[in-house]
Every structure is written in C-alpha cells, then in structure tokens.
Amino acid sequence: MLLRIHDLHAEIDGKPILRGIDLEVGAGEVHAVMGPNGSGKSTLAQLLAGREVYTVTRGEVTFDGKNLLEMPADLRAREGLFLSFQYPIELPGIANSYFLKAAVNAVRRHRGLSELDAVDFLVAARAKMKLVGLREDFLHRSVNEGFSGGEKKRNEIFQMAMLEPRLAILDETDSGLDVDALRTVAEGVNSLRSPDRAIVVITHYQRLLDYIVPDKTHVLAGGRIVRSGGAELAREVEERGYGWITGATESSDGMPVAAA
Amino acid sequence: MSSGTQAKDLVDDGEYKWGFVTDIESDVAPAGLSEDIIRFISAKKNEPEFMLEWRLKAFRAWLKMAAEEGEPDWAHVKFTPIDYQAISYYAAPKKKDGPKSLDEVDPELLATFEKLGIPLAERAILAGVAVDAVFDSVSVATTFKEKLAEVGVIFCSFSDAVQHHPELVRKYLGSVVPVADNFFAALNSAVFTDGSFCYIPPGVRCPMELSTYFRINTANTGQFERTLIVADEGAYVSYLEGCTAPKRDENQLHAAVVELVAHERAQIKYSTVQNWYPGDKEGRGGIYNFVTKRGKCAGAHSKISWTQVETGSSITWKYPSVILQGDDSVGEFYSVAVTNNHQQADTGTKMLHIGKNTSSTIVSKGISAGQGQNSYRGLVYVAPGAEGARNYSQCDSLLIGDKCGAHTFPYIDVRNPTSQVEHEASTSRIGEDQIFYCRQRGLTQEDAVSLIVNGFCKQVFRELPMEFAVEAQKLLSVTLEGAVG
C-alpha cells in the first residue's frame, strides 16, 4: 500500500480538525475525497504535504512503508509526494523555468538520477506543457505572478507532470475553473494516471469527477471519513448533497440543499 | 566628540610635534594621527609637494570637524565612538622592494588570495579581467597593464599614478569629493595610502572590465583607499570592486573615497560586491564601512552607473551619488543591501540634477534578517536650472523574521517645475507560505530562501557583469544561511 493513514487526529491552535482518519491508497489508484466546507479536506492535504502549522495528536501515516510524519516537507516532496495547491503561491521575480528546473533536479538527485541540463529541461518542459495547453513564453514568467486562476491550476498540473510524483494530492484543483479549463486540467491529470502512481482528488463538487473518474470515493465530514464507495458515491453526493450522509443540511456555499 | 578633541589636544600639546621621529624604514606607522604621521605617509610614498599640501589641508579640515561636530550622527546606525589615536595609519607588506611580476609576490600572500577564491593570475587570464590587487594599503600585483597601455588606458595603483601621472592626479583628485566634504572623506584625504587610478583617453572603450580586490589584513590598520576614475570624452569603462575580509576581533574602520569623472558622452559603470567581515552572531568584531562614493557627469550626454551588493560589514554607511552637471546626462543607482544578525546598513544615493534634461534611476533593495537594521537614505535634488529633469526611484524592503527592521528616508528637493520625480516603495516579508510552496516542490528551506531573495534582487543583479552576478547570488545565500529558523 503506497499511502496508509491510520486513526489520524490533528489540531491547529488546540482546535481539533481531524478526528480519526483511516485511508489506504494503493499505487495505480485514484481516490476522491469529498466533503462540505470545514470538513477537514484541505487540512488533510496540507498535513500530508508537511505543513507545520498542524499538530498530529494521534495516529500514523506511512508512505511506501516509511513514517511520513517524521519527514520534513521537502523530503516528502523528494520522496514523491506532490500537492497541487488550492491557492498556488506567487514567487515574484523567479522565472517558472528556473524554479521548476531547481525542483526537478532536487527530486532527480534524490532518486539517484542525473540532473537535467538547460536543454534537456527545455525539451521535457515543452512536451509536458502541451498536456495542459500552456504556451512556451509561460516558462519565462514569474511563478504564478499575475496568472489567471486557470493558469495557476494548469501550472500546478504542469509541475506535477515534470516532477513525476508517486502520489499526487490535488486540492480543489477545480475551484475557480470554467468548463473548458476544467476539461483541460482533467485531461492533463488523466494523462498522468499510471499503474505506479496514486492520485488523491480533493474536491467539494462532483463535476471534476465527471472527467477524472475515481476508483474510490470518500466523504469527509467533521474530520472523519463517514462514507466510502465507488465512483457512484460522487454522483449521489451531486444529486443529494452532503446532508444525507453528514446528518446536516448545507446551504452556505451554493451546494444544492438536500433533504436531510 | 572625545576622540576628535583628543586628536586636536595631542597636536596642540605638541606631544607628537617633536616627540615622534619619522622612521622611513619602518613598515608600520605607530598608532595615532598627527601632522607628523601625515608627513611620514607622504614621505614614505615619495609624494610631490602638492600631495602633502593637499593631505595637510584635509587633515586640518578633519581636525576642525572633529573638534566642532565629531563623527556624523545622522545615520540610522549605532556604534561606540572610534578612537582615532589608536589606529595605525600605515602598514606596508613585509617585502622591501615591490614585486615586478606575480612570481615575485610572497607565496603566502597569493595563498590568501586563493583562499578567498581569487586565483589572481588564472582568474585574470580566464576572465579577461585586469586585477590591481590592493593588499594592506600597498599594491602588490598589477596585471594586464601592457595590454591596457596599448589603447592608452592608464590603470595602476594610486601611488604609481602620483609618481607617473602627477598632472592627472592633481587635476582630478578632490574634484568630485572635496577634502572637507565630510568627516570620513576628510580623514581619508589626509591619510590614504593607496588605491586605484584609472584614466580612459578620449574615444576609447576600455577593452576589459577592470577589477580590484580590496582586502583588510593587518590588525588595527585602518584602511583608507582612494579610487579615482576618469573617463575622457566618449570613453567607456566598466569597473568592478569586490571585497572580503578574514575574521577579526576588533572593529575595524574602513573609510574609502571613490571619485568618478565622466566627460562628454563618456560612460562609467562601477560595480561593487562588498563582503567584509560583519562581526559574529552577537555583532562583535565587524568592519565599520564609512565610504564616500561620488561621480560627476561633467559633460553632456555622459552616464554614470553604480551597482552595489552589500552583504558584509557590521556597519555600512555609503551613498554612491551622481552629480548630473552635463546636459542630458544620466545617473543610475542599483543596490542590494543585506543585514543579518546585528548588522546595520544606512545606504542609498544622491542624484543631483543640475544640467538640463538630466535623468536618474534609483533601484534599492534592502533585505533584513536576524536583528539587522537596514535603512535606505536618498536625496533627489533638482536645481532651478535643471529643465526637464527626470527621476524614478524604487525602494523595496524584504524582511526575514520579526526582529529586524527596514527604514526608508527619501529626501526630494525639487526646484524646477518642469521636472518629473517618481518614488515607489514597498515592504514585504518572506511568507511562510512561499517557503512551504518551494519545499513542497522538493527544495530545502535554505534553497527556498535563497530562491526568493534572488528573485527579489533580480532587477539589481541583472545590472552586474555576469561573473559578478553569479558570485553575488552565492554570497547572498551564504549571508542568509540559517536566517529563517
């Protein structure tokens, strides 16, 4: 099992957010984690990626058999864990190409591969940019600075393609995307599906899952996985909302309100 | 100021007047400052009478300033008063006769340069850079002189210039920074022992980038370098200055003066990477860097450009300035100043618009980490006659951690209504989210900081010659090591 989460409890500033998560994701699988706002989806994503603001109070997480929680964030990345950010961060003055080449080579060194030189990098980058429909001049722009919402998300998937992670966690990759951009991004992700790579898609809405069809779907509520199923569970959520699972109605963010 | 008064008292008391015997064979002058010491330095360097007179004039001006006001105290820096009588104002290398080539240079000296990453000969040849290495006040090696001489460029130590080109020295020395300009410039003028001199004749584009590595070595020897660069009509020169210094326990004073003169259509590009010892983590033992750098765009369509990367010294007090006297002349100032631990920097520029249609650009990037204090202090002055003058200033500060400080003191004095002056400023902090983003892509914390800082400084780095830009980036990473805990 590539990722194994057992009884994970975590809090921020003394406030419990995750209250006992159990989840197993194998290589080659695509899992969707859905849930209403405040259910702990993003916390789970950020915690797995190594963000230090969260305190794990109980439980364990292993990544390919290694204790993930003991690794610093950069080591997790080099070990092959990738997080596509819900809100990608701007790095003014740093060219995309420069940033990504540094990242790719950090990962390659860790895997015992030779570093890419400028030419190899450019060849690889050109090929991968096509996956998400980005133009080459994009490489010379500062990382995420002045990017539209769609460009930022496409950039995340482009980075994923370049870094070739073993586990990719996509945190609300669909938010802020119009239908066309959504399709492009989803196609990019689908092209990266492979037998030795796992993908965890975190989303509030089901629409992304029309394009990236998951093997398994989990519904997160109140810091716990309250239901798991196949791709059909996502469609059920789309039709009925979260209320029938979580026992509460939801209306604050435009989700269709289902009868409890 | 006690030390200044002390200096004056000593001279007035006559304690040194007859008591001090000039020993011309001595390699190190006894500590202290007096007219006799100045005569000693001048005699030691076999200077013509005009130089001695000029030094004495400066010394008297300094005594007056020391007695009346003391060290300038307007800068945003704190330090214990300097005892000018405890400083030795002259130290020569051990070897008696100056070496005629690199082969004659003390191998130990060369080894030190090696350690600093300056393999003089190789580097000079590989990089096509002529290096006039200043080591403890006296030049010990000069390369590429002949090649430069072919096109008529004079590039030599200041001492050599005094000996071989006294007419040029006499004409230009003090023409941009007068002896009584300020406390530290006056002190420098009185006691400077060496430095670099450069003259580019009319219409000549200097065939290589000129470079000097300054280095402080002997304990308790104040360094008073003097640099004078003159670009005659239509000439061009790019000059690089880089500095490092070894560890030291006592604070060391460094008060250099750099004067640039650009005649009609001439261009001078002056780049500095300064990395003197900044003191230990508690701020002990760093260099005091009180420098006066000023250029004069004397002729129409001339241009002077200062680019500096200041990462060292415990105190930096430095305002490379341009007097835009010729019509249509251009002044530029690009600066990165880093303060970490207990370092203090008060740096900036002065752009003095006097000629018509003169323009200036100021880009200042201040980085503060640890408990560092970083101030930008700049003056943009537009004289009544400076029709159509333009200035653009941008001052950005980057904070790392929450114990450091960034301050901006822009002074704008505009006396001509047709001029245009723009000022932009920003302050930002390296975000925890930025660092996390970089780390999530596999970069270590230190690589992440260095990446973000380099992005912040890019506008300035791209003004540096390629080699220097690479060095500057590395230097920045080293300086900020461990700054984000």
Chain A residues close to B433, C-beta within 8 Å? 89
Q: Environment class of residue A223 by beta-carbon count within 10 Å: exposed (0-12), middle (13-18) or buried (19+)?
A: buried
Domain-located, residue B459: no
Tokens at residue B388, please? 């159509």
Q: Inform me whether the C-beta atom of residue B446 falls under 8 Å from chain A C-beta atoms.
A: no
Name which of B438, B441, B455 is nearest A92 (Cβ-Cβ): B455
pLDDT at A102: 94
Q: Inform me whether the C-beta atom of residue A12 falls under 8 Å from chain B C-beta atoms.
A: no
Both B8 and B123 in one domain: the answer is no
Nearest CA-CA distance, residue B485 and chain A, Å:
13
Tokens at residue B417, please? 């209504």
Report the largest interatomic distance among the alpha carbons of chain B, rounded to a whole angstrom.
72
Chain B interface mutation, best of A54, A75, A87, A91, highest count of B Cβ atoms under 10 Å: A91
Domain-located, residue A121: yes
DSSP state of B30: P
Distance CA A45, CA A32 (A): 12
Residue recorded with tokens 């996390």: B436
Both B126 and B64 in one domain: the answer is no
Both B235 and B377 in one domain: the answer is yes
The DSSP secondary structure of B141-153, one letter per residue, reads: EE-SHHHHHHTT-
Q: Inform me whether the C-beta atom of residue B426 falls under 8 Å from chain A C-beta atoms.
A: no
Contact A94 B455 (CB under 8 A): yes
Name which of A77, A88, A93 is nearest B442 (Cβ-Cβ): A77
The answer to whether the Cα torsion of B103, B104, B105, B108 is positive or negative is positive
Distance CA A64, CA A21 (A): 18
Last residue of a domain, one of B55, B86, B117: B86
Q: Inform me whether the C-beta atom of residue B461 falls under 8 Å from chain A C-beta atoms.
A: no
Q: Of A18, A23, A2, A8, whose CA–CA distance to A216 is shortest?
A: A23
Chain B residues close to A88, C-beta within 8 Å? 437
Query: Backbone phi, then psi, for B383, in 5-degree steps?
Result: -70, 160
Domain-located, residue A110: yes
Query: Backbone phi, then psi, for B402, in 5-degree steps?
Result: -120, 15
Domain-located, residue A78: yes
Query: Backbone phi, then psi, for B396, in 5-degree steps?
Result: -115, 140
Both B20 and B161 in one domain: the answer is no
Contact B454 A93 (CB under 8 A): yes
Domain-located, residue A116: yes
Both B278 and B374 in one domain: the answer is yes
Nearest CA-CA distance, residue A259 and chain B, Å:
39
Nearest CA-CA distance, residue B92 and chain A, Å:
46
Name which of A74, A88, A99 is nearest B444 (Cβ-Cβ): A74
Residue range of the domain that includes B80:
2-86
Q: Of A231, A143, A156, whose CA–CA distance to A188 is shortest?
A: A156
Q: How many domains does chain B have?
A: 2
CA A23 to chain centre: 15
Q: How many domains does chain A have?
A: 1
Which pLDDT tens digits describe chain B residue by residue (485 residues)? 333 333 334 333 333 233 233 344 456 777 788 888 898 888 888 899 999 999 999 999 998 988 888 777 777 777 777 888 877 787 664 433 444 555 555 565 555 455 445 444 443 433 334 445 444 334 434 456 667 888 999 988 888 899 999 999 999 999 999 988 899 999 999 988 888 899 999 999 998 888 754 444 444 445 788 999 999 999 999 998 875 554 454 557 888 899 999 999 999 999 988 777 777 777 677 788 888 999 999 999 999 999 998 887 788 888 999 999 999 999 999 999 888 888 888 888 999 999 999 999 999 998 888 888 888 889 999 999 999 999 999 999 988 877 888 888 899 999 999 999 999 988 888 888 999 999 999 999 888 988 888 888 888 988 888 777 777 777 777 777 766 65
Q: Please count the residue pairs, one from chain A and one from chain B, whose beta carbons lie less than 8 angstroms apart.
A: 73
Domain-located, residue A127: yes
Q: Of B111, B24, B74, B135, whose CA–CA distance to B290 is shortest?
A: B74
Residue range of the domain that includes A79:
3-246
Q: Inform me whether the C-beta atom of residue B442 falls under 8 Å from chain A C-beta atoms.
A: yes
Provide the angle, in degrees to the nearest 10, between the axes of the packed helices A118-131 and A96-110. Answer: 100
Domain-located, residue A154: yes
Strands (E), B263-302: 267-275, 287-297
Q: Environment class of residue A232 by beta-carbon count within 10 Å: exposed (0-12), middle (13-18) or buried (19+)?
A: exposed
Q: Inform me whether the C-beta atom of residue B387 falls under 8 Å from chain A C-beta atoms.
A: no
Q: Inform me whether the C-beta atom of residue A160 falls under 8 Å from chain B C-beta atoms.
A: no
Chain A residues close to B363, C-beta within 8 Å? none
Q: Inform me whether the C-beta atom of residue A93 falls under 8 Å from chain B C-beta atoms.
A: yes
Chain B residues close to A102, C-beta within 8 Å? 443, 447, 451
Domain-located, residue A253: no
Both B230 and B354 in one domain: the answer is yes
Percent helix, strand and coil across chain B, each to the nearest 5: 30, 35, 40
What's at A197, amino acid-wise? R
Domain-located, residue B348: yes
Both B78 and B166 in one domain: the answer is no
Report the largest interatomic distance among the alpha carbons of chain A, rounded to a whole angstrom.
58
Both B124 and B42 in one domain: the answer is no
Distance CA B251, CA B257 (A): 19
Last residue of a domain, one of B403, B434, B465: B434
Query: Backbone phi, then psi, for B115, in 5-degree steps?
Result: -60, -35
User: By the 8 A CB rule, do A76 and A50 touch?
Assistant: yes
ipTM confidence: 0.93
Chain B residues close to A77, C-beta within 8 Å? 439-442
Q: Inform me whether the C-beta atom of residue B458 falls under 8 Å from chain A C-beta atoms.
A: yes
CATH of the domain at A140: 3.40.50.300
Domain-located, residue B439: no
Both B215 and B335 in one domain: the answer is yes
Both B229 and B344 in one domain: the answer is yes
Residue recorded with tokens 């360094």: B223
Contact B440 A73 (CB under 8 A): yes
Within 10 A of B348 (CB to CB), how many other CB atoms are there?
Answer: 26
What's at B375, amino acid-wise? S
Both B288 and B161 in one domain: the answer is yes
Which residues lie across from B456 on neighbouring strands?
A: none
User: By the 8 A CB rule, do B161 and B267 touch?
Assistant: no
Tokens at residue B39, please? 């005569």
The answer to whether the Cα torsion of A68, A74, A75, A76 is positive or negative is positive
Domain-located, residue A252: no
